[in-house]
Structure 1
């Protein structure tokens, strides 16, 4: 799974890709109900749309869809 996440870094046009496990912080507000976090920074919606359609992204979804119970996505614009 981690290797699959790392393939997403190869998608051209992304500003940054961060992959990590939950931090060892112990506060009530922290959500630790996940195994891996993926943060992808993109310049604009055009890049976002290309990312969604990219073969590597689609391959990751197809291969690992059965590995998760829940996916949480936070899309936001700055």
Structure 2
């Protein structure tokens, strides 16, 4: 299964230093053993079209071998460290899970 998360950062955290710290936090999520793979990214500089949403600052895509592993990840202590560390940085977060 795939787990997609889109982050909109508050303006105060859109500087180079804070972005680097946030990127380290995103990368650390892949050290959680339940995560089978994935990556984080910023919006690609593609041709703008009406169907393209580039309003977000970061996207996180994670792969899990099962829904059970995804659900265990949701309560994993290291996942909660990430949330606790950065939740005040987010203007908005959207999660989209795919079977």
d(CA) in 1 for partners of 2:36 and 2:90? 26
Q: CA-to-partner distance for each residue in 1:14-69, whole Å, 9 max, x for gaps? A: 22121000011122211111111000111111101111111111000000001111
The reply on whether 1:59 has 2:90 as its aligned counterpart is no
Q: Across the two proteins, how many residue pairs are aligned to each other?
A: 77
Aligned partner of 2:95 in structure 1 is 73
Aligned partner of 1:10 in structure 2 is 31
Which has more strand, going by share of residues? 2
RMSD: 0.9
Instruction: Give the TM-score of the pair, scaled to structure 1.
Output: 0.92
Structure 1 stretches of 4+ moved >2 Å = none
Give the conservation status (yes or no) of the 8 Å contact 2:34–2:70: no
d(CA) in 2 for partners of 1:58 and 1:13? 14
The reply on whether 1:28 has 2:32 as its aligned counterpart is no
The unaligned stretches of length 5 or more in structure 1 are none
Aligned partner of 1:37 in structure 2 is 59
